[in-house]
């Protein structure tokens, strides 16, 4: 789904996912409902140095103000949480390419994932630590803020929410911080891939418990979180094991160099003739030594039969896939391919197209590398057998 960059903090691009844009008004409305306001007012009244007038935050425009301010404050807290991860990762030389805020929270994207267990431990704990600091700062503010009910309820709610966020994130399940903490601790005495598989299994178990609790409590949002956690645990395991499997393998070792191409002027009819004779269903479109797009059978399905002699592949081709260098890590190429939901990356050396790497090339490589099992010391993840 589409992300919108809204600015940079210490050079890190901050992006909003469209899911958050849709979800924020809903969250504000949920918080502004009478039963929710009563709950938050009661919690804040229990921790605040002065009594909170619950009736004052439920009259006039106060519910809307509390709902909007608390919803926005929550995601400011999430942003600070991710910045905690990011600033700590930078301290250890890890590049942060972006922070994305979306419906389930935030995600700091790292160029290189830490494999030293102690580095991952510190980076994982930095987020919850930041949330606790934010919560503590909000709580301390209650002692100096004017006794304005709306302001006190918003700030007090954010104190509780941020501490709750820290605690919830320490649940041992990917992609939450607790899953990474568990993996880091396991990786002290066992291979990284094995530690990941164990942590992912624990994460799936926790997701099942969340789902049961969500059903019993009739909490649809928690059920969605449980489903997300279960899927993410499996994805983390597969990604880590594949990274271990492809460790030390470069794009040059896997890429295809005998790549059939077409020119932009090739007609759809000529393209179909080549598909039939060459048994290839996708061709990079080459113009003056540069790939400008890719044409596939799906690309030409909408072209009427009578127009195939006059329509060129330039009229129907898709955008050019991502490019990588021949000496790039194979796993980085796989990540680039996955990020665009495509089936190939183009290999370019000194501005010249020299080959491509497709999903079929990766599957063949995975099968071969898995056959070396003991030498690689990793086990193929479920779904790749």
Position 87 scores a pLDDT of: 94
Cα torsion at 45, 46, 49, 50 (round to 10°)? 30
What is the per-residue pLDDT across 255-286, written as a single tens digit (0 to 9) for each?
888 888 888 899 989 989 988 888 888 888 88
The rounded distance, in Å, linking the Cα atoms of 185 and 344 is: 36
> In the prediction, which pLDDT does 1 show?
58
CA 184, 185, 186, 189 dihedral sign is positive
How confident is the prediction for the chain on average, in pLDDT?
85
Q: Where are the alpha helices (DSSP H) in the chain?
A: 18-32, 34-47, 62-91, 117-141, 149-169, 177-186, 192-217, 220-245, 251-254, 268-278, 297-300, 313-316, 330-339, 359-371, 373-376
Contacts of 311 (CB under 8 A, 6+ apart): 267, 268, 300, 303
Average pLDDT over residues 309-337: 85
Mean pLDDT calculated for residue range 15-26: 85
pLDDT at 380: 42
218 with 353: CB under 8 angstroms?
A: no
Determine the 3-state secondary structure of 119 from DSSP: helix
Looking at 2.40.480.10, 3.10.580.10, 3.50.50.60, 3.40.50.920, the CATH number of the domain 251-359 comes to: 3.10.580.10
Rounded to 5 degrees, φ, ψ at 304 are -60, 150
CA distance 256 to 251: 10
Q: Which residues pair with 99 in a beta bridge?
A: 14, 108
Tell me how far apart the 2 most distant CA atoms of the chain are, in Å.
82
Q: According to the model, what pLDDT value does residue 133 have?
A: 96
Going from N- to C-terminal start, the domains of the chain cover 3-245, 251-359
**Strand-strand pairing, 282-287 and 290-296:** antiparallel
């Amino acid at each position: 789904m589409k992300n919108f960059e809204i600015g940079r903090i210490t050079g890190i691009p901050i992006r909003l996912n469209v899911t958050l844009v849709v979800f924020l008004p809903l969250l504000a409305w949920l918080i502004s409902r009478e039963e929710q306001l009563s709950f938050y007012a009661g919690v804040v009244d229990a921790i605040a140095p002065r009594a909170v007038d619950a009736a004052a935050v439920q009259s006039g425009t106060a519910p809307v103000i509390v709902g909007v301010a608390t919803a926005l404050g929550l995601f400011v807290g999430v942003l600070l949480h991710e910045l905690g991860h990011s600033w700590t990762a930078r301290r250890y030389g890890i590049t942060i390419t972006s922070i994305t805020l979306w419906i389930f929270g935030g995600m700091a994207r790292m160029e290189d994932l830490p494999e030293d267990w102690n580095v991952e431990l510190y980076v994982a704990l930095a987020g919850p630590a930041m949330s606790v600091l934010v919560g503590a700062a909000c709580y301390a503010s209650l002692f100096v803020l004017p006794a304005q009910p709306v302001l006190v309820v918003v700030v007090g709610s954010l104190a509780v929410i941020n501490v709750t966020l820290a605690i919830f994130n320490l649940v041992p399940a990917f992609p939450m911080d607790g899953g990474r903490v568990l993996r880091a601790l396991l990786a002290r005495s066992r291979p990284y891939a094995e530690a990941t598989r164990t942590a992912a299994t624990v994460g799936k178990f926790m997701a099942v418990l969340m789902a049961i609790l969500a059903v019993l409590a009739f909490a649809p949002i928690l059920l969605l979180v449980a489903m997300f956690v279960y899927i993410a645990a499996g994805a983390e395991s597969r990604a880590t094991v594949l990274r271990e499997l492809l460790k030390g393998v470069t794009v040059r070792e896997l890429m295809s160099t005998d790549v059939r191409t077409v020119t932009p002027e090739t007609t759809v009819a000529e393209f179909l003739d080549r598909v039939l004779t060459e048994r290839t269903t996708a061709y990079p479109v080459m113009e003056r030594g540069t790939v400008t797009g890719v044409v596939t059978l799906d690309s030409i399905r909408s072209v009427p039969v009578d127009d195939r002699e006059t329509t060129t592949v330039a009229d129907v081709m898709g955008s050019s896939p991502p490019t990588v260098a021949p000496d790039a890590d194979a796993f980085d190429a796989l990540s680039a391919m996955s990020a665009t939901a495509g089936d190939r990356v183009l290999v370019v050396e000194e501005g010249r197209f020299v080959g491509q790497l497709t999903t079929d090339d990766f599957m063949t490589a995975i099968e071969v590398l898995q056959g070396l099992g003991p030498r690689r010391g990793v086990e193929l993840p479920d779904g790749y057998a």
